[in-house]
Structures are given as structure tokens and as C-alpha cells.
Structure 1
């Protein structure tokens, strides 16, 4: 299964000690720190496998034999093997962690199998965890010093007393270049260990200095309770760093896997079958202290697939027991973007997703401070299904007093309804969209929902719209050329460059396309971009429209409408066609106004419109030539 004679520095762990670790380790206790286990009958336990995604539990644990096995992916073994696979540890590191847990002093044998020695030779992970534990104590001690007064005032100003600070291990990084570094070096940690763990960094002079200075510190723990990193909050105006600074990626800290507060919340999450996802460290503290003990937060990154995998295992989110996931995003534009991302991830949960937004757009910490613990509990209790929130936001973009506005809103919202997993709930949301939000016939909306979910929808089964992964687009020449222009800017920004940037967002007739164009401008424009995931993510984050944010992801991978690679001529043609559509629409508007203006009584207005019409028609002819590739 795996080699037990793995060398560690100058020797290996004695076989007798490895056997003792196995004997004294209850595998169910080890695995239950990561996976919520339920009775499977016959004395066995089951849960959702941590090594592959599944909706029905196939991961089995036998406490009597002290082994585990997944019937879904075939992974199995004892507690040592579980830690090796789940935590990416070496054999020696796994044994050392279990030995520390069981209070066993390991003995090591030199390569020549000579006299055993008892000095522990820890693996890298254990050393880095130990260094972080020592750093926690250092920072906690510094919180009581005179220099840490701003940190204490920050905590007090947000409603956290000394007991709360101690419960969450809050500390202070002092105003010194290498105070922590010297402290840890004196405890035997090496230069390489401190740099690798993200606690220290090399200075320009070549010496080693602290990574965090003059900041309020939160220790970040993994699901087992080990400190693996820190979150640091800016306190002083002359600190030119970001508001929050987190530990960089290290062998033990992977931000896409980490949920702050999971170590304290996991048991209540499993017990209640629900989790509350908030946005920051203080929000987690506020929720826990307000008797919402299931709160967790991401650490400086968006909520994503790896976080979902962690929560599903803790929730036991399966066909047998669907969990409940509640997001507490702010009601502002950034919170709406986060909500859409959560809605996109909804399919990966078996349970239902909800959103809880404070009427005053306050986060849980602000709400607790302003209105007390009960207000935080009420915020979570008043949650609404995430699909309701998303539908309401999409529909609000359109003028529902007009037929065109209602039709467009229907086609934008229908794919969101089509994404609802449960068929009966999907029909119910279709009725809600029709009756409560749009005031339209139910049959009309249900047809749009069916078309959006149909595999043939993209082939033009409806003359009004075609379905996409995130929403339909009006199937018109203008809409198609707008999409093509945006695809060029997202996929080939160096090629699109100044030609794309010269065409303003006002030229885009579709409001969602316009919002994406505005986000591209906010990101610095195509001229300043380099193609790739970083550019696309930047545009996505700056898009203030929920549907537009989703559209960015879609357009970034949708093929261009040509065979072979694009060239500058193709870009020019597409942008000319885009502008020609808006100019043609303006020509129609001006002609319509001219027909309504009396040239005798309103001479100045008439000739102003006539002059504009001549200019527009000249511009349209030039764009027509360029769109045809003649210029």
C-alpha cells in the first residue's frame, strides 16, 4: 500500500512505534474531523468521499477494523493512509501527526539500524504547523502591549471584548522589522522554514524580516484546528499595503481550500445541516457570538469549487440529507456579483442555496454592533432562495411597463429558472416569474423556460432567442455582432486593442452587452490587456451586472464566428458592423422626429435634425463600406 521505511532526515521511525500509533488511533475520530459520518449499519459508518465528488455516500469506515474504503473511487487504507491522501502528507508526517495526537513519543533509528533515539525529526508540515502555533502565541502576547492599542480599539469598536479576542486567537504584529523572525529562530526554526511557511520574507539587504508588521492578526486554522496561516488587517493610515493581507500560498496554506472558522463551526454545521457563508473574519466572529455558530468565511478569495467540496462533506450534503447553504453577501454591486457566482455553483450542492441580505446592506458584524445579536439571527432566519434573488435582480434591469421590456426580461430570466434542479420547483419558479415578476401568461413563460433548457434551443428552435449557459441572447444581427466584438476584446485583447476601445458602451444596444463593455473599460481597456485568465477575471470582477458577469465567462470560451485565427481586418469589420447598427437606429429616430416637427413653426429644430440626419447617413455609408471589407 505504501512504504513504511520512509527515511526522515538521518533515520526512520521504529516499526514498534508505528504499530503503537495504529493501535492507539481511532480512525473514525480522525476522519470525522474532515467528513461527517453517519451510521451505515453493522457498526460501520458512511459519509461523502473527500477524494471525489458524489451525491450519495459511498465512503465507508470500519471502526472495528480501523480502516476506510470508498466504493466509488476505490481509495482505502488505515488512518495513516487517510492523512497521506487527505492532507498530502508523507508517511512520516502522517505518523508524526497521529503520534502527537495520541501522546506517543516516537523513536527514530539511524540508517545503520543502530541505537534508537527519541529526538523527534518532524516532517515539513509538522514543522510549519509548529512554527505557526509559536507565532500565534507571539502575536497574542503582543496584543496587550502599548503599541497594540489601535488593534484593541479596532476590536472594541466592532463589539469584541477581550474574551472574544482570546477565543479567536487575535493578536498584533508589532512595529519591528524582524521581531517575530528572531523569536522563532531562537526557538529553533530555520530560515527556510520561516520563508516557506510565509511567516518571514527576505529583505533587499538579504536579511530575513517579518511578513506582517503593525497589523491586527487572525490565525487561520484548517478543519482539524491546526494554524496554517494568518489574516492581517491594516490599522495605520501610513500603511500603504492592502486593507487585508493574507498568508501567501504555502505547502500548508491553500486559500481555495480554506474556510475561516470551519474548525469551530464544523460540529454545528453537521448537527444543523446548514452553513452560513459570510465575507470576513469579523463577520464570522459576530455570527458565532450572536448564536449563529455555523458561520464560515473564505480567506481573501472568491467562494469556489474546493470550498464547496469541503462544505458538502461536513454538511453530509447528499440525496439522503440535503444541506442548506446560506450566503450573507452585501446588497451592493460586489455582493451581487458574489451572489451570481454562488448561483452558478448551486448545481454542485444537493441542498438548497439561500441568500440573506440586510435591509440596510450591513454585514453581520455591522448589524450586530448596530442592532444586537437578535438582528443577526433574524438576518439568517429571513433568508430567501438564491434563485428568487437572482430572478428579481435580472428582471429589475428592464422596463416592465413595456411589452418589449417584459419579453426581454423573460428571455433573460428563463435560463435561471431552467437551472433549478427539482422539476416541480422549476415549474413553481416559472409561475412566480410569470405572475409575480412579469405579469405575463404562465404558458408563455413556461415555453421560454423549456426552450432555455432544451438541447435544441441553441439551434434556433425559437425565433426570439437562443439559449446559452447563463442566459439567452436576442438572435438578431446587432446582438450577434455585439457578442463578437466582446469576444474579441476578451479572447484577443492585443488584436482588438485601440479599435475596440474607440467604440463606446453606448453603441451596444443590449444592456447586458453594454455592462460588459463598461467593465472592459474599467479594467483599463483592451489596449492595456494581455490575454488569459487574469484579464478575463479582472473584467468579470468589475462587471456591475449579474447577468453580464456570467456572460463574461461564457464569451471568454465561445468560438469566434470565423474559420481560422482573427486578424485586424476582421476586428475592423465587426466593429464597423456594430457601429452601423446603432447609427442606423439613430437615423430611424431622427427621421421619425423630422416627420413630427413642423418646419414652419419649429425651423431651428427642423434644420438641426436635418443636418444630423445628413451626417448620420454619410457616417452609415462609410461604416457600410468598412463592414463589407471595402475600406
Structure 2
């Protein structure tokens, strides 16, 4: 398709795609002001949330990595799309048909690659669900579900499906729907057969659609239904391979279903299988998710943290459920490797007999699953006890070896007080009955591991802007925020402010950018709405750094403890002028001090007259500012 998308359509899609709604499909957001929302940045790893969304201006900005922009920018960055692809995706989401200059409109036959792959997977999920209900060979799938207590309603709730026994049943179905063979292979739904031609990747398997946080099907997990010794049956569980849509290292099954309750309860329960997720949700543990055919890793940590929006200010909990056997102990240690990346508390819930949540639900019902979660123990304790169990604690040599093996785990704890308490617990668990010795031994290990990382922890926080303690800088920045976020109120007064009233180069650059646009009033009249005004202003910036600063001003919270009105705007604009007049007064007084009373009498007279006028003007500005407050 040739031609660019009409500007009117771009604006309409932006209008019908509230940025808070689009971002919330990927980032857990919480209110941070009247129009502001905050969450953990999806573009870089951070401990405390610095990713802000302003619903009024339609922009986002991360004060950590400086990434920012409008809803189009967000979709492009989060999914690696071109502008056209982002526009087409948002248009379909908003139900808008795009018109291209030179003719043509969007429809199902013309789409970006990602959108085509999403449509392919949506069609495949519908096909698998239909096959579960219609195919005689799907009986084995129903037997599998029934044996675990899942009925037709549950299967429909989780959209479980069935991959038929035929070699190319799905492939022929999708090709008939006008999807291409290249798309099926790229999406991991089909592959090249040994004798040429395409065949289905999944055969005679119970199928679970795996969705991203936006609720789009991006892949599948299939459970083998053939007998264990059946030839060419393949692995018990088979997942979609890595594709442009499916990256198993950063996907969690059930996250799309659990995300709202995770945000409400500040809790994530990590289980090991798809049926475990189903059992937990049926039992009322609706914060359960599972990895997709891979161990819990650092990418999963980032997903969980965004769901929880965990930070030092909000304490949540991540609960891992592992089997009590050696494999479960190993999984717990792997999870503990990532513990320090969480700001939340981490726990382990293990059923004594080794049953997983699904097996527990089958035998004990809803209450048994809820009790399992309630019986959680701290992950660090579980990991340490797992290490101690490897040694013979009936001998001094065994206890000492266990102490040396467990000390590195204790030393990985960030909190010094918690580290000390676990060292004391270690003495009790080992039976030394000598706290000083055990605490000292743990400290020796920490010294050998590199000592305290006090430098990194005590490093001062970066300020959002240089000189943030300078009143002039704060006032100038506030005036700029008002001009960007509230142009209808700020325009008439802001447009009278000259460049000399802004002392910070970056502030003056934004003021000049607004002036080049004809001023706030003219810019708003031309654009018609705040979102378009801000977008056009940022686009007009010649340098990337300036563009990012404009976006930051459009997102950052205004320092007003009530709804912004003309009185508050009048106060801030008056303060900018007052500070400018104060600087002029200071400069003039300095000049007067250098004048000679005899030889510069006329200059002194003019200077004193100017001082009086400036002082009167300053008084008027201050009264106006106070009166507006």
C-alpha cells in the first residue's frame, strides 16, 4: 500500500487510544496525582518507579532512562514497530479505518507483520477450541481434563483446545483463511515436513493459548495425549518456539487473567504448570501465573515487578510453589538467585507430600490450595534449609561444612538487620549454640565475597534537573509545565514572558521553541487540543534532548495542591517576572556601588530612579502573586 496515513486519521486514532489504557496493557500503573499515573519502566530495569503517564496530555516519560512520547511512541518502542505498524495496530484496537493518501483503507488483507501473526494465532486458538468440542480423537483430551476435575465450563474459561492427529489439519485450515505459509512458519504454528510441504507443529495435544499482558494470543503450550511409548510422540509438553511474538523467557501463562488481582492484592503466586494455574484460579487464588516451558529467570522478574509495581514504598509478596523433592530444591535455589532484584518479599509454599497445586486441589478442594499459599515460608529460609539438608548435622565437621555452604546465601541479603537475624537463625538450625561464632563466620565469608557495597547504596539520588533547590529554577520549570499542560489557561500570560526571564538554558530553549510555534495561544488555536499541541511542540524540537525535555514537562506533576486554575497560573507567571525583576535590582545595586558620587552624579540619579521603579514593579508582582494564591 502506497501513501502516508492521513493526518486526520492519525489524530483520530490518538484521540480514541487513551494512553493510560494502552500503557496499562503492559505496565501496572497507580495514581500519582490528578492526571498522573506511575509505574515501573518497561524499557529499563529499575528499583523504584520513575515511569509517568499523564492522561491529560496523552504522553509518557521515564525520568530514569528518559524514554518518552505519545501513544504511538509507546507502541513503537514496546513492540519494535514502525510508525505505520503502530498506527495500524492502534487503529484496529480503536475501530478506526485508516485512509492512505493516494487511496486505500486498512482491512484484514493489508496489515503489519506483527498484526498478521496475531490474527493467525487468534484464528488458531479458535480452531483448537472448536476441535476440542467436535473431534472424536479429542476424547483423550477430555479424559485428561476430567481426571483433574476440569469440566466443559472450565475448559471454555481458559480457552483450552485440541490439536488434531492429522499432519496438516491446522495448516490447511489457516491457508484456506488466506494466511500464508511463511506466516505460519514464522509464527511457529507450522514447520517443514520431512518430505517437503508444511505440517502442523502440534499433533494430538491438549492446547493452552498463551497470551501477552495485552490479552493477545502469542503462542501455545501443548500437552501430549499419546501413550508414553508411542513412536514420534515427542516431549510431554511442547511450546511454541521463540518467534517475533513468543519469547518464553519473558512470558507468564495466566498473567493476562491475574494482572488485576495482582495489582489489588500485591501478590503473585508462581506455579509450574498450566493446570496448576487453572486449579489455583478455580480455588480463589487468582494471582497465580506459570512460566512457559522454562525456569523462572531474570526476564520473568521484570514482568512480575511491573505487575506488582513493587518498590520500597509498596511491599508486596511473590510466592513460589515448588515440589518438595530435589528438583524443587534446585528450582528454589534458581529463584533465590533473583531474590535481590525484588523489592517485595519472596516466599516458598511447599506441600509436604510433594503434590503440586492441581493435585492438591483434586484431593483437597479449594481450601487445600488456599492453605498451601497461606503456609508459605520466606524463600531465603527455604533455600538455606535446602543447603543444610545436604550435610550430616550430627557431626561437627558436617555442621561446619553446612555453615560455610549456607553463609553465601545469608550474605546475599541486602538488609543488614535481616542478614544478622538469619545468621542467628543459622546458629539455631545448625545446633552450634554459639551465636558469636556463627555470626562472625558469616561475616568472614562476606568479607571474602567483596565486603559491603556501601558506595553503590549510599550514592546520592540523581536530581531530575540541575539546581533543583534554586527557587528560580523551580518557578521557571513550573511555568513551562503550565504552558505545555494547560495552554488554555497559561497562554495569554506566558506569551508575554521574554527569553531573559529564563535562567536555565534548557528552560530558555523550550520558551524559544514555543515562541517559534507562534506562542502558546496560537499553537493551541492551531492544534485544537492539548495532546496535539504537545505532540506538535515536541516534534518541532530540532534536538532529541530538547524533545525529551518537552515530553518530561508534559508528564511531570504540576506543584499545585488543588485543581489548576487561572489564579494558580497568574501566581506562577507573576513569580517568574518577580524573580527576573529581583535579579535586575541586584545587578543595578551592584552597578550603583561602583559609581562615583561626584563624577557619576547623573548616572546615580538615573540608577536610583530605575531602582525605585523596579522595586514598585516587584511589589506589584508580589501582591498579584499573593492575591492569586
**Alignment TM-score, normalising by the size of structure 1:** 0.69
Q: Deviations over 1:206-234 (max 9, x none)?
A: 21111111111111101110000011110
| Match 1:44 to one of 36, 47, 71 | 36
| Aligned twin of 2:131 | 142
**1:115 aligned to 95, 100, 103, which one?**
103
Pairwise CA distance, 1:240: 2.6
Contact 2:88 2:106 in 1 (8 A): no
Q: Distance in 1 between matches of 2:309 and 2:166?
A: 46
Question: What is the match of residue 336 of structure 1?
Answer: 329
Task: Tell me how far apart the structure 1 counterparts of residues 432 and 27 of structure 2 sit (CA, whole Å).
Answer: 46
Work out the CA distance in 2 between the residues paired with 1:383 and 1:118: 52
Give yes or no for contact 2:399–2:430 (8 Å, CA) kept in 1: no
8 Å contact from structure 2 (residues 138, 162) kept in 1: yes
| Candidates 80, 105, 130, aligned match of 2:72 | 80
Are the aligned partners of 1:194 and 1:200 in contact in 2 as well (CA < 8 Å)?
yes
CA distance, structure 1, for counterparts of residue 79 and residue 430 of structure 2: 48
Alignment size in residue pairs: 446
Contiguous gaps of at least 5 residues in structure 2? 452-629
The correspondence for 1:101, drawn from 93, 99, 107, is 93
Does the 8 Å contact 2:301/2:342 carry over to 1?
A: yes
Please tell me whether residue 125 in structure 1 is matched to residue 114 in structure 2: yes
Partner of 1:563: none
Contact kept, 8 Å, 1:107 with 1:119, in 2: the verdict is no
Partner residue in 1 for 2:238: 245
Shift of 1:108: 2.8
| Equivalent in the alignment of 1:461 | none
Q: Which residue does 1:206 correspond to in 2?
A: 196
Q: Is the 8 A contact 1:316 1:322 kept in 2?
A: no
* Aligned alpha-carbon RMSD (Å): 1.5
Partner of 1:274: 267
**1:455 shift after superposition:** 5.1
**Cα gap change, 1:298 to 1:105, in 2 (>3 Å):** same
Alpha-carbon distance between aligned partners in 2 of 1:31 and 1:448, rounded to the nearest angstrom: 49
Aligned pair 1:59/2:51, yes or no? yes
- CA positional deviation for 1:448: 1.3
Question: Greater CA radius of gyration, 1 or 2?
Answer: 2
In the alignment, is the contact (CA less than 8 A) between 1:220 and 1:229 conserved in 2?
yes
Label 1:196 to 1:337 Cα distance change in 2 as closer, same or farther (>3 A).
Answer: same
Describe how 1:255-270 pairs up with structure 2 within 5 A: 255-270=248-263
**2 CA distance for matches of 1:54 and 1:201?**
39
2:52 is paired with a residue of what secondary structure? Answer: strand
Instruction: Report the equivalent of 1:24.
Output: 16
What residue number does 1:297 align with?
290
Match of 1:307 in 2: 300
Q: 2:432 maps to which residue? A: 439
Output the CA distance in 1 between the equivalents of 2:69 and 2:33.
Answer: 20
1:170 paired to 2:163: no
- How far, CA to CA, are the matches of 1:281 and 1:214 in structure 2? 17
**Distance in structure 1 (CA, Å) of the matches to 2:421 and 2:191:** 56
Which range is displaced more, 60-69 or 92-101?
92-101
Map 1:523-538 onto structure 2 (within 5 A): none
Deviations 1:32-85 (A, max 9, x none): 122111222242111111111111111111100000000100000111111111
For 1:6-46, what per-residue CA distance to the aligned partner results, in whole angstroms no more than 9, with x for missing partners?
xxx44443222111111111101111122111222242111
Higher relative contact order (CA 8 A, sep 6+): 2
Q: Give the C-alpha shift of residue 401 in structure 1.
A: 2.1
Q: Deviations over 1:318-368 (max 9, x none)?
A: 111132110001111111111001111101101111100001100000110
Q: Which runs of 5 or more residues in structure 1 are unaligned?
A: 1-8, 459-631
Structure 2 vs 1, CA of residues 319 and 457 (structure 1 numbering), >3 Å: closer, same or farther?
A: closer
Residue matched to 2:172: 182
